[in-house]
Structure 1
Amino acid sequence: MTSNRETTIIRIVDMHTAGEPVRIVEAGYPPLAGNTILERRRDAQTRFDHLRTMLMLEPRGHDGMYGVIPTEPCAAGADLAVLFTHQEGYSTMCGHATIAIGRWAIDTGRVARVDGKARFGLEAPCGVIQVDVETDEAGVTRVAFESVESFASALDRTVEVPGRGPVHVDIAFGGAFYAILPASRIGLSLMETPLAELVQAATAINEAIRTGGSIVHPTEPDLGFLYGTILTDDVALGMHGGQPSYNLCIFADGQIDRSPTGSGVTARIALAAAKGEMTVGDSCEIRGVSGEGFIGTLAATSGTGLDAASRVRVAGQAWYSGRSEMIAEPGDRFGAGFTLPRRLADLDTPV
């Protein structure tokens, strides 16, 4: 963190993957303490959360911003390590950001490229992900990653959602936990219902499940929380016949993922494997609200149903959108950012 009379300056590069922003810290963020990536995540939450809010929230960010904080790797097999941030906090995995990091790591020389190709281990809070980067003769760079072990943790679970009554959802892990269901199950159309109504419904499902507090990761307590809800179209992934599937992911405090959600694609394919709808080698394109897609492939699986464990390969492209320095001057009331109030009466205005 560069400081001049307590002025905070953080250098960033902005990218996007399928329209979803990725703000990568390149310089100015202080070193994190901890012997594991999860300890460093907790350190960021405890000591430096004002830097997350500075970068993610208005006036330097917005309610759809997403970020990456590079740190030193801790795990064996990792060449780079990152934390993922958003307007509400910190994620355990992010596929669209991983795709952006793949390109950024090659372009900045952090990972060597041989004959236009590179493969490296990226440590995220959920584990080490293998990332492949390839640049063709036209200079187009494509990135793919293979997920951590992913699985369905609940099938047809009933959730009491205020205003909607009992709603049946599947819960799956793709580096983060998601509730997954077709929009039609709650009387909505993924393609025709106004976006605001879809967001409201998915947010209500998120809140109902989080209030229940019953998401448990089998080995790591820090991963045991619901990240978001994914509303899908009505066609099972294994039955799209080459046509794309569409979904909408709502996470954090009503944040809309513009991309198809890389870890959500992983979770959907792991869920399809658990249901016997996809087998190893099957691929599908999944598109998000921007209309851009990721290609997901079931790379490996073992077991069936809730005992199935899968690895999924997700491929996409990332693009640069800007480079800048984020500055917070001393005395700036919004140095750590701010969020819009629900009502003007809720303003935290000094008297």
Structure 2
Amino acid sequence: MHFDKTLELLLVHCQGELGHVLVNGAPEVPGATMLDKMNHINTVDASLRRFVTFEPRANVAMSVNLLVAPTRDDADAGFIVLQADRAHPMSGSNCICVVTALLESGRVRMQEPETIVRLDTPAGLIVARATCENGRCLGVSLDNVPSFAELLDHELDTPKWGRIKVDVAFGGVYYGLVDVGQIGLTIEPDSARELAEAGIELKHLLAAQVGVKHPTLPGIDEIAYVMFRDMEPDGAIRTCTTLEPGRVDRSPCGTGSSANLASLYARGLISVGDGRTSRSIIGGEFRVEAIGETKVAGRKAVIPRVTGRGYVYGRTELRVSNDEPFVAGFALSDTWGPQVGLLK
């Protein structure tokens, strides 16, 4: 069989959230920095993103991480998160998937009992510490980028739930953080569809009423996700991040948990050295700790450490032919939900 091009992906999940890693075959993306490359994908050429994140090669509940050579000397590798709506600058669960894939495939040399991997991302340098044994990656701790609160208890007018309060914070991307009781739901598997649709509705209301712009990272200028949260009896924080066109994150969400940590830090509810457990809608857990404090363009910020585990469960090869009828991909509302028309 003859094919014009092939792409090699390692199949990985982190606490149930699929974060496949595109390791070979991708075209070079222009840009002097990883942020430049992400912005090129988002504003100039989305063809690769669409090819690997839409049907018939993908499904709604997954991401693909584009592995590229780092653009900075202090990094071992670089990656960009590709999702159906756009390319994103950072994701905790996807970062854990990338570190696990790099080590278990031998692309970065594994050292036991711990390997340090430095990743170049559009949001900045991520330092990962992987616990390793017998050729396996048993856990990954990410020192995330500085995270900060933009707004606390911002009042948002909604047609369905009246006026609710939202925290807006940056944890690698911008989040709207909503206490789930305000919309009359609980974070449990049976509520996943209702939570997904509510989260997308709130995201668009936030876009209309709240503007954000990262002070040092051009192009990071939207609230990417709404994350619902609730307090568990044991002190853990139950999380549910919602993603376009309308689905929920299966993992506890590392960047969302970092944004939530920043909101707690801004309120004085945690200090450096404190931590919280983030628990997903299906019960997966991350440990999130405040390991330092800093400032971002004069804003008080916290440095989060997120710890979780990823699993490489296979590999696949995508074959591309020039006469293939669905190179741009497609999505249907039967599985992608009623908001599928919002995707570009």
Give your verdict on TM over 0.5. Answer: yes
- Relative to structure 1, the CA distance from residue 213 to residue 330 in structure 2 (aligned partners, 3 Å threshold; closer, same or farther) is farther
Provide the secondary structure at the position in 2 that maps to 1:269. Answer: helix
- Relative to structure 1, the CA distance from residue 200 to residue 46 in structure 2 (aligned partners, 3 Å threshold; closer, same or farther) is closer
* Pairing 1:144-293 to 2, within 5 Å after superposition: 144-191=141-188, 194-212=191-209, 214-234=211-231, 243-293=235-285
What residue in structure 2 maps to residue 330 of structure 1?
322
What is the root-mean-square deviation in Å for CA atoms of aligned residues?
Answer: 2.5
- TM norm structure 2: 0.90
What residue in structure 2 maps to residue 102 of structure 1?
99
8 Å CA contact retained: 2:100, 2:312: no
8 Å CA contact retained: 1:11, 1:26: yes
- Relative to structure 1, the CA distance from residue 89 to residue 318 in structure 2 (aligned partners, 3 Å threshold; closer, same or farther) is same
Provide the secondary structure at the position in 2 that maps to 1:232. Answer: strand
8 Å CA contact retained: 1:111, 1:118: no
What residue in structure 1 maps to residue 30 of structure 2?
33
Which letter does structure 2 place at the counterpart of 1:70? L
8 Å CA contact retained: 2:195, 2:248: no
Counterparts of 1:51 and 1:22, CA distance in 2: 16
Which letter does structure 2 place at the counterpart of 1:54? F
- The answer to which of 181-190 and 77-86 deviates more is 181-190
- Relative to structure 1, the CA distance from residue 38 to residue 93 in structure 2 (aligned partners, 3 Å threshold; closer, same or farther) is same
Counterparts of 2:195 and 2:273, CA distance in 1: 32
Question: How much has 1:302 moved relative to structure 2?
Answer: 5.0
Which letter does structure 1 place at the counterpart of 2:258? T
Question: How much has 1:153 moved relative to structure 2?
Answer: 0.6
Superimposed CA distance per residue, residues 50-99 of structure 1 (whole angstroms, 9 cap, x where no aligned partner)? 22112111111111120110112123422211111111111111100111
Superimposed CA distance per residue, residues 220-277 of structure 1 (whole angstroms, 9 cap, x where no aligned partner)? 2311211101111146xxxx65x43211000232232110111111111111111111
Provide the secondary structure at the position in 1 that maps to 2:103. Answer: helix
8 Å CA contact retained: 2:185, 2:191: no
Which letter does structure 2 place at the counterpart of 1:249? T
8 Å CA contact retained: 1:68, 1:85: yes
8 Å CA contact retained: 2:14, 2:96: yes
Is the aligned partner of 1:131 residue 2:123?
Answer: no
What residue in structure 2 maps to residue 77 of structure 1?
74
8 Å CA contact retained: 1:286, 1:295: yes
Counterparts of 1:103 and 1:198, CA distance in 2: 30
Question: How much has 1:164 moved relative to structure 2?
Answer: 2.6
Question: Which structure has the greater CA radius of gyration?
Answer: 1
8 Å CA contact retained: 2:237, 2:279: yes
Counterparts of 2:17 and 2:136, CA distance in 1: 22
1:122 is aligned, of 114, 119, 122, to 119
Question: How much has 1:280 moved relative to structure 2?
Answer: 1.4
Specify every segment of 5 or more residues in structure 2 that has no aligned partner in the other structure, as ranges: none
Counterparts of 1:140 and 1:9, CA distance in 2: 27
Superimposed CA distance per residue, residues 291-328 of structure 1 (whole angstroms, 9 cap, x where no aligned partner)? 1111111111258xx94310010011101122111123
Question: How much has 1:154 moved relative to structure 2?
Answer: 0.4
Question: How much has 1:35 moved relative to structure 2?
Answer: 0.9
What residue in structure 2 maps to residue 14 of structure 1?
11
Specify every segment of 5 or more residues in structure 1 that has no aligned partner in the other structure, as ranges: none
Counterparts of 2:88 and 2:307, CA distance in 1: 20
Percent of aligned positions that are identical: 25
Is the aligned partner of 1:298 residue 2:290?
Answer: yes
Question: How much has 1:171 moved relative to structure 2?
Answer: 0.5
8 Å CA contact retained: 2:148, 2:170: yes
Aligned residues: 335
Counterparts of 1:82 and 1:160, CA distance in 2: 37
- TM norm structure 1: 0.88
Superimposed CA distance per residue, residues 104-138 of structure 1 (whole angstroms, 9 cap, x where no aligned partner)? 12223332333332112211111001111111469
- Relative to structure 1, the CA distance from residue 321 to residue 112 in structure 2 (aligned partners, 3 Å threshold; closer, same or farther) is closer
Question: How much has 1:17 moved relative to structure 2?
Answer: 0.1
Provide the secondary structure at the position in 2 that maps to 1:223. Answer: coil
